[in-house]
Chain A
Amino acid sequence: MRNKFDEQLALLNRELIEMGALCEEVISMAADALLSGDTELAQKVKPLGGVIDQKERTIEAMCLKLLLQQQPVARDLRQISAALKMITDMERIGDQAEDIAEIIGFLNGRTGRDCAPIGEMATATIKMVTESVDAFVQRDMELAKAVVEYDDVVDALFDKVKTSLIGMIAKHPQDGEYALDLLMIAKYFERIGDHATNIAEWVLFSVTGVHNRENIT
């Protein structure tokens, strides 16, 4: 009985790793498309987002089945409930990457390079997503805490992007629409950072059983 359960938990873990890896890919792809202005690459983001949605459904079904059939307690219960919460955040990351890719289509061939901090922000966000998935995969508490703290860096970068865009609008009023699009993209990056933080917090919860509720946004 327990053996079967362990097997199913291992399978769940594997699916989560896959979903995390997909999130890393989708965000990297969106960021690459933004910085290179490659709209063809941007169009590949949407199907990948679909794969992530599919994965969410699969994992959700697995979790519910495990909860119903095995009625897990303690650590197992934490692992499964954390998985249920994590996939929501991962799915949102996928959605927001799709949104970014959609905006890239409206930039009329311009890239994000005109606003330097947004490139930094993309790199920082990718780092957060990668490290939150790493923290989950390795069950690395230190890394998870580092991700939670790193969110401040992304938030600060968002302010920097905002300031830079305000300056851009002031200098070139005709770039207003472009600047607003970039602001939206920056906001999406900032949100992705928040989701990565959530994932890291659920990793902490699944191991320690403690979840800092005040940090939930």
Chain B
Amino acid sequence: MKKHIFRSILIVAVSVLVLCSAVMMSIMYRSLVEEQREQLKNKLAIVANGVEEGGIDWLENLTVKGYRMTLVSSEGVVLFDSEADSATMENHLERKEIADALQSGSGESERISSTMIEKTFYQAKRLENGNILRISFTRNSILSVLLRMLTPVLVILVAAIMLSAFLANRIAKRTITSLNTLDLEHPLNNNTYDELSPLLLRIAHQQRQIESQRSELNKKRDEFSLITQSMNEGLVLLNDKGVIVSINPAARHVFRTDASSIGKDFFVVERSSEIRGVMKTAADSGHGQVKLRRAGRRYEINASRIDFNNEAVGTAILVFDVTEKALLEQQRREFTANVSHELKTPLQSIMGRAELIENGLAKPGDISHFVNCIRTEAARLLVLIEDIIHLSQLDEGGELPWENVDLYQVAKETLDVLQDAATDKKVRLLLTGTPVSLNGVRGLLGEIIYNLCDNAIKYNNEGGLVEVSVSGDENKAIIRVKDTGIGIPTEHQKRVFERFYRVDKSHSKETGGTGLGLSIVKHATLLHNGKIEMNSKVGQGTVITVTLPK
């Protein structure tokens, strides 16, 4: 820019200088020449007069400095010359001014010397005697003037260059300074050259645009991170080089790393064969899935290649915790196996006895015993199926009749039903407490009390006691069933609520249980948002407390 300004200034200065001097010189030179010619004419007239009167002698005595006088005869012979020897001079008839004078009485011409430095002006006049008087004047030509002017012009030129450089520097500096000190954060608050206003306006506009885009981006990023932060599923995003771009807290927990892993190769964080395999599958076919066991939990890992314009730009890895799901699945499988087993056992015994009777292998006296057995087994099967139906109803959690139930009343009815069984076992039943009403499913509450008491009777010793107490306050209702039975060993206490789990592994038919009773209690209690507490000592008895919120 400095260069540019410098060149412009210099061009202006030099061209002004050259043009000015050219115009001035040409005007001045011309007027000077004109004036001198006039003077020459006048002098010629004066000298001509003198010569007419005084003859050649007058001329010889005349000394005029700077002017050369020549007298030429009408034949062209030089009669007198004030500066040269007239005898040696050639015939002047050919000279233009002489020829003109001979012809028209006066003539003039100008000639430039061979060195181009001098210019001579001639004026000639025919005298009355036919001779021709010529007067000439020599002066420097325009070229010599120019040559003489060269030095001062050069000095001026140098001065102009220096001045231009100085000015260019200053202008550039001033412009740059004002540009550099512009407050680009607030482009409209600047007090500077008007010429910069359009630029500043444009900057302001662009800044507004950038600002709005940035806030938009920030908003999107915040939304994204908020979503991923609170996700239960782990999410890892990798770029095309396999470097972690984003990893949310859930994924950090699974892969046991922290935020510092962002920017590192994912293999640095996790290099198990499962992950490497699924990454390869995802890279090859676009999607891969694998199961991973980590710290006692099971995860399902989904890796998907992210394509953009038919080019893989990264990988997204989603991590699901499937521990509970897997556990449930396992329980379901076990349940199915158990159900089949439990159903098969009584059926086989029924089948066997029925076959014996059919084939006539049974003695007539035994038939009634066999039929009795068949009936008992069928009854057991019925109880079992009823229990299973109950459980699956609870599992389905379908529409159940919720109503206001008096728990004490329910307990009383249930104990009435169980009275016969208790009498058979020689167990005493005792109900204490006060009427407590709560909102619940009457049938299920009855099931809870029935199953707890049924167990308490079945696993009691002869002459034992089952004590049921119902109590409650504004917030909750409590059912406590206490027995003096055989108790549950500690290692089994946690598992007795599982379906078909029995402390006595022989699945003995003596007590007639199905292994589903406590499971039904658990599910019914959970349906009422309640809690079960168990306190049991082997040989001393069991206390089970069910707390139900109102």
Kindly state whether residue B241 has any CB partner on chain A within 8 Å: yes
A110 to chain B, nearest CB (A): 28
Using known A-B contacts A7-B241, A10-B241, A14-B242, determine if residue A20 contacts B271 with beta carbons closer than 8 Å: yes
B166 to chain A, nearest CB (A): 46
Please report the C-alpha to C-alpha distance between residue A137 and residue B266 in the assembled complex, in whole angstroms: 11
**B residues within 8 A CB of A163?**
none
Kindly state whether residue B300 has any CB partner on chain A within 8 Å: no
**A residues within 8 A CB of B267?**
14, 17-18, 21, 137
**B residues within 8 A CB of A10?**
241, 243, 265
* Contact code string B233-244 (vs A, CB < 8 Å = 1, else 0): 000000001110
Please tell me which one of the listed residues B243, B265, B273 contacts residue A21 in the complex, with CB atoms under 8 A apart.
B273
Kindly state whether residue B276 has any CB partner on chain A within 8 Å: yes
Please report the C-alpha to C-alpha distance between residue A21 and residue B272 in the assembled complex, in whole angstroms: 7
**A residues within 8 A CB of B259?**
none
Please report the C-alpha to C-alpha distance between residue A11 and residue B241 in the assembled complex, in whole angstroms: 8
Within 8 A of B (CB), among A98-142: 133, 137-138
Kindly state whether residue A43 has any CB partner on chain B within 8 Å: no
B161 to chain A, nearest CB (A): 46
Q: Is the CB of B265 within 8 A of A13?
A: yes
* Contact code string A1-36 (vs B, CB < 8 Å = 1, else 0): 000000100110110011011100100000000000
- 6 A-B residue pairs with Cβ-Cβ distance under 8 Å, sorted by A, are A7-B241, A10-B243, A18-B267, A18-B276, A21-B267, A21-B276
Chain B interface, >50% SS class: mixed
Q: Is the CB of B268 within 8 A of A138?
A: yes
* Contact code string B267-293 (vs A, CB < 8 Å = 1, else 0): 110011100100000000000000000
- Give the interface of B toward A (CB within 8 A): 241-243, 265, 267-268, 271-273, 276
Q: Is the CB of A17 within 8 A of B273?
A: no
**B residues within 8 A CB of A137?**
267-268, 271
Please report the C-alpha to C-alpha distance between residue A16 and residue B460 in the assembled complex, in whole angstroms: 67
**B residues within 8 A CB of A25?**
273
Please tell me which one of the listed residues B241, B243, B271 contacts residue A18 in the complex, with CB atoms under 8 A apart.
B271
A133, closest chain B residue (CB): B271
Please report the C-alpha to C-alpha distance between residue A88 and residue B276 in the assembled complex, in whole angstroms: 22
B268, closest chain A residue (CB): A137
A146 to chain B, nearest CB (A): 19
Q: Is the CB of A17 within 8 A of B268?
A: yes
A207 to chain B, nearest CB (A): 15
Please report the C-alpha to C-alpha distance between residue A7 and residue B239 in the assembled complex, in whole angstroms: 13
Q: Is the CB of B272 within 8 A of A17?
A: no
Q: Is the CB of B241 within 8 A of A17?
A: no
**B residues within 8 A CB of A13?**
265
B269, closest chain A residue (CB): A137
A40 to chain B, nearest CB (A): 18
3 smallest A-B Cβ distances: which pairs? A21-B271, A17-B267, A137-B268
Among B243, B267, B272, max chain A CB count under 10 A is at B267
**B residues within 8 A CB of A17?**
265, 267-268, 271
B283 to chain A, nearest CB (A): 12
**B residues within 8 A CB of A133?**
271
A25 to chain B, nearest CB (A): 5
Please report the C-alpha to C-alpha distance between residue A17 and residue B269 in the assembled complex, in whole angstroms: 10
Please report the C-alpha to C-alpha distance between residue A75 and residue B267 in the assembled complex, in whole angstroms: 22
A163 to chain B, nearest CB (A): 36
A32 to chain B, nearest CB (A): 14
Given contacts A21-B271, A21-B272, 11 further A-B contacts (CB under 8 A): A13-B265, A14-B242, A14-B267, A17-B265, A17-B267, A18-B267, A18-B271, A21-B267, A137-B267, A137-B268, A138-B268
B239 to chain A, nearest CB (A): 11
**B residues within 8 A CB of A138?**
268
Please report the C-alpha to C-alpha distance between residue A137 and residue B267 in the assembled complex, in whole angstroms: 8
**A residues within 8 A CB of B242?**
14
A137 to chain B, nearest CB (A): 5
Q: Is the CB of B265 within 8 A of A14?
A: yes
**A residues within 8 A CB of B268?**
17, 137-138
**A residues within 8 A CB of B272?**
21
A1 to chain B, nearest CB (A): 18
B275 to chain A, nearest CB (A): 9
Please report the C-alpha to C-alpha distance between residue A20 and residue B273 in the assembled complex, in whole angstroms: 11
**B residues within 8 A CB of A20?**
271
Please report the C-alpha to C-alpha distance between residue A18 and residue B243 in the assembled complex, in whole angstroms: 15
**B residues within 8 A CB of A14?**
242, 265, 267
A13, closest chain B residue (CB): B265
**A residues within 8 A CB of B273?**
21-22, 25
B267, closest chain A residue (CB): A17
B304 to chain A, nearest CB (A): 20
**A residues within 8 A CB of B265?**
10, 13-14, 17
Within 8 A of B (CB), among A69-115: none
A13 to chain B, nearest CB (A): 7
B520 to chain A, nearest CB (A): 42
B242, closest chain A residue (CB): A14
Please report the C-alpha to C-alpha distance between residue A17 and residue B272 in the assembled complex, in whole angstroms: 10
B273, closest chain A residue (CB): A25
**A residues within 8 A CB of B276?**
18, 21
B312 to chain A, nearest CB (A): 15
B485 to chain A, nearest CB (A): 44
A125 to chain B, nearest CB (A): 18
Please report the C-alpha to C-alpha distance between residue A21 and residue B276 in the assembled complex, in whole angstroms: 9
Please report the C-alpha to C-alpha distance between residue A11 and residue B273 in the assembled complex, in whole angstroms: 18
Please report the C-alpha to C-alpha distance between residue A78 and residue B114 in the assembled complex, in whole angstroms: 88
Among A20, A133, A137, max chain B CB count under 10 A is at A137
B237 to chain A, nearest CB (A): 17
* Contact code string A136-158 (vs B, CB < 8 Å = 1, else 0): 01100000000000000000000
Please report the C-alpha to C-alpha distance between residue A22 and residue B243 in the assembled complex, in whole angstroms: 20
B269 to chain A, nearest CB (A): 9
Please report the C-alpha to C-alpha distance between residue A193 and residue B76 in the assembled complex, in whole angstroms: 134
Among A7, A11, A13, A14, max chain B CB count under 10 A is at A14
Please report the C-alpha to C-alpha distance between residue A21 and residue B268 in the assembled complex, in whole angstroms: 11
Please report the C-alpha to C-alpha distance between residue A7 and residue B268 in the assembled complex, in whole angstroms: 16
Please report the C-alpha to C-alpha distance between residue A17 and residue B264 in the assembled complex, in whole angstroms: 13
Please report the C-alpha to C-alpha distance between residue A137 and residue B276 in the assembled complex, in whole angstroms: 15
B280, closest chain A residue (CB): A18
A25, closest chain B residue (CB): B273
B245 to chain A, nearest CB (A): 14
B263 to chain A, nearest CB (A): 11
